[in-house]
Amino acid sequence: MFPGNSNGNCRHDKKEFRSHLKKILGFRPGNIGIYEAAFVHRSSSYSLPDGRRINNERLEYLGDAVLDTILSDYLFRMFPEAGEGFLTKTRSRIVNREVLGQIALSIGIDKILISNVNPVRNSKNLCGDAFEALIGSVFLDKGYNKTKKMFIGRILKNNPGLINIISTDTDYKSLVFEWVQKNRARLLFTYDEDYDSDHKKSVFRSTLMINDEKYGQGQGPTKKEAEQEASCKAWKRITDNFRT
């Protein structure tokens, strides 16, 4: 039987563990032992009869690499004209400790995590590490394609925070700059300033020009926000042209 968990129980119920795991994954796990190891923090390591120490460190290492590959593949296809810098920056925002910890807590990893570390002070880090170990377990049990399908379909697309990182928080201005440099084009922002209907606050309008052709217009309370909206519209036009 598997050792005790962070809630102080000396053992866990395998049937209950399988049920909880199936809710997270969306499918029935195969080799349950791999998944059990994914939720054992090194502070709760235990030894098998053959002397092997069991914890989730190796699975965390594997899961980190698999997750990087999945996200690299996904972002590469989602942003067909984006440069390396943008893709790397976006991937890094998703796989940082804080975000992974939030993902792990949202799917209930803290309920099955086994650790002797103070869960209140270290919950997000512990759970984020266990989430990466879980990705490593799925990869070993089901292979890359199933792991990718599970992460994209059940985790990423059902997590508003991740969608926000990829879409709303996207730096479209940087994307357009990278595209312009790559294609040796000329970029120019033009501005004008007006006031809102109450004549109290300034409203900035920005037009993004590429090779003297208007690609996008935007407005906002600051030049930066106006540029971002104009860049978003310009990027949509660029990618629409790329797809056609």
Active-site residue (options: 36, 60, 110, 132): 132
Angle at CA of residue 127, ends 121 and 130, nearest 5°: 140
Contacts 24+ apart (CB under 8 A), 158-164: 159/103, 159/106, 161/99, 161/102, 162/94, 162/99, 162/103
The answer to whether residue 132 is catalytic is yes
Cβ contacts of residue 34 below 8 Å, gap of 6+?
Answer: 59, 137, 140, 141
Q: Which of 220, 241, 222 is nearest to 176 (CA)?
A: 241
Active-site residue (options: 57, 64, 68, 81): 64
Angle at CA of residue 99, ends 94 and 100, nearest 5°: 90
Torsion of CA 179, 181, 182, 183, to 10 degrees: 90
The answer to whether residue 84 is catalytic is no
Catalytic residues: 64, 132
